[in-house]
Structure 1
Amino acid sequence: MITTILFDLDGTLLPLDMEAFTKKYFKELGIKLKDYFTAEELTEKIWASSKYMIGNVDPAKTNEEAFFEKFAQLIIWDTEELSPLFKEFYITDFVKIKETTGQSQYIIKAIELLKQKGYQLVVATNPMFPRQAIEHRIQWAGLNRDDFVFITSFEEMHYCKPQIQFYEEILVNINEAPSNCMMIGNDLEEDMIAKQLGMTTYLIEEHLIQRSTNLENVDYRGNYEAFYEFVKGLPALSQ
């Protein structure tokens, strides 16, 4: 019986143009760190460090630790000097990226209805950003961080999508069996892979990301409106 719903964030809970989002992100981060890097240098080093983090399989390293381990190898500056600037960026400057995102009233209504029906909700975003940046994006989506019992983040998680360990780590944190969970996301490979653990899956077709036509991991699919109708049909767990 499904009792827990996991949601991807970017392109699922939060409608956005990923290309515009990424471009604006690097522009604003480049402005923040302009005294240390050219825009091209910073983009190259951030992507290289992110790639290393995504490939990390050491359960003793958080994503944050893996990222900065690689980043430190690529720069001449002490990461202790840059760390306060990164933290300040995510508190103040990151909000400028909001203009590349939107809201879905169907998602907002679906979340409210799921709460009313007693489902446990999780934000299962790819944890490549600090908690502060993730909470900003939840708010931009018209939602409240308190709607969710667990939120994946850069500081806490040890794996990234599409590694299956990412989903296993969530299950450990929420003490839940995969058969009781449904994963909702817009990425055919990175989100629907949760099916391999035994989760039910729902592919959001708006802002769809897919690298193949293989749909074997997809149980349900539809746009935001269809998902809301699907939620309306789910049984209530609470009276």
Structure 2
Amino acid sequence: MNHDIRVVAFDLDDTLIRLDPTFVPEYVRLLDETLRAALALSEPLSGHFLEVTNQMMAKMRDEESLQDFFFRQFSERASLTRNQIEGPLTAFYEEIFPRLRSLARPVYGAMGMLSQLKAAGYQVALLTSALFPKAAIDERLRWAGLEGFPFDWRTAFEVVHATKPQPGYYEEAADALGVPPQAWLMVGNDLVEDIIPARSAGMAAYWVRDQKPTAEEEATLPPGTPWGPVEAVLSHLGLA
């Protein structure tokens, strides 16, 4: 065990689960279609969702939860109340979102890797994008074959006050577990959303990547950041 690291945190999408490139546009299409039907609206809502998503990603950590921020901003743009939106949105994630499973596939060996980390004494956290509610994260964990794994902490937009790529998102996770950022290793595939802000927050990082970085990527990669396939995290920590 690497005694400098106490918590190993993982991104979800394209780190512990592989998503088809069509996943996001199909997700947005289904969400727009479902909410417009439920609310009897003729005008598309997708533009409002994308605007608010960008605002959520830009939001600094403060006293307002990301969930409350989303409903406040979206309600203003769509001229709807939170009560009008919340029910159909909950129904979407429970009934429609699972249809997207065909656009995802699990990462071989992910459960074994996480279990080996726990057995070695590490705490394991899930730091996926908090743009999604808990129901959507639970569903994607089922697709990944990880629904039974006992994460020590998980993000969701109901419980956090910032999301990627804000360093405050990573600082909030560290505060929630009571472990300083310097004792965390963040494992993720996105240089801009996972690696750079985690390092800015004081965490170590491991960049999930199967191919050699481009010259442009190497120029922005924080010095000393290792990279490689996700399963090689075990070797990086001296467990394989």
With the length of structure 2 as denominator, give the TM-score of the two structures.
Answer: 0.87
After TM superposition, give the deviation of residue 146 of structure 1 in Å: 4.3
Partner SS for 1:128: coil
Give the counterpart letter for 1:205 in structure 2: R
Partner SS for 2:105: coil
Partner SS for 1:161: coil
* Structure 1 stretches lacking a partner, 5+ long: none
Task: Work out whether 1:216 is the aligned partner of 2:222.
Answer: yes
Please give the residue correspondences for 1:104-143 in structure 2 after superposition, counting only pairs within 5 Å. 104-143=107-146
After TM superposition, give the deviation of residue 63 of structure 1 in Å: 0.7
Distance across 2 between alignment mates of 1:118 and 1:41: 49
Partner SS for 1:190: helix
1:87 to 87, 90, 114: 90
1:234 to 227, 234, 239: 239
Could you tell me whether the CA contact under 8 Å between 2:6 and 2:183 is conserved in 1? yes
After TM superposition, give the deviation of residue 217 of structure 1 in Å: 5.1
Cα deviations across residues 161-195 of structure 1 (Å, max 9, x unaligned)? Answer: 11111111011100001221100000012111212
Give the counterpart letter for 1:135 in structure 2: D
1:149 to 145, 148, 152: 152
Give the counterpart letter for 1:31 in structure 2: E
Q: Percent identity?
A: 29
Stretches (4+) displaced over 6 A: 207-211
After TM superposition, give the deviation of residue 30 of structure 1 in Å: 2.5
After TM superposition, give the deviation of residue 93 of structure 1 in Å: 1.0
Distance across 2 between alignment mates of 1:229 and 1:140: 26
Cα deviations across residues 178-233 of structure 1 (Å, max 9, x unaligned)? Answer: 221100000012111212233211000159999844112552111134335445x2
Give the counterpart letter for 2:121 in structure 1: G
Give the counterpart letter for 2:169 in structure 1: F
Structure 1 residue aligned with 2:183:
180
* Structure 2 stretches lacking a partner, 5+ long: none
Give the counterpart letter for 2:207 in structure 1: L
Structure 2 residue aligned with 1:167:
170
Structure 2 residue aligned with 1:15:
18
Give the counterpart letter for 1:28 in structure 2: L
Partner SS for 1:156: coil
Residues 105 and 184 of structure 1, relative CA distance in 2, 3 Å threshold: same
Cα deviations across residues 12-65 of structure 1 (Å, max 9, x unaligned)? Answer: 111112x31102211221331233445x72210101111122222261211111
After TM superposition, give the deviation of residue 145 of structure 1 in Å: 5.2
Distance across 2 between alignment mates of 1:85 and 1:139: 22
Structure 2 residue aligned with 1:189:
192
With the length of structure 1 as denominator, give the TM-score of the two structures.
Answer: 0.88
Identify the range of structure 1 (86-95 vs 222-231) with the bigger mean alpha-carbon deviation.
Answer: 222-231
Could you tell me whether the CA contact under 8 Å between 2:11 and 2:194 is conserved in 1? yes
Distance across 2 between alignment mates of 1:155 and 1:217: 34
Give the counterpart letter for 1:132 in structure 2: A
Please give the residue correspondences for 1:45-84 in structure 2 after superposition, counting only pairs within 5 Å. 45-57=48-60, 59-84=62-87
RMSD of aligned Cα (Å): 2.4
Residues 192 and 115 of structure 1, relative CA distance in 2, 3 Å threshold: same
Identify the range of structure 1 (147-156 vs 109-118) with the bigger mean alpha-carbon deviation.
Answer: 109-118
Partner SS for 2:186: strand
Distance across 2 between alignment mates of 1:138 and 1:21: 15
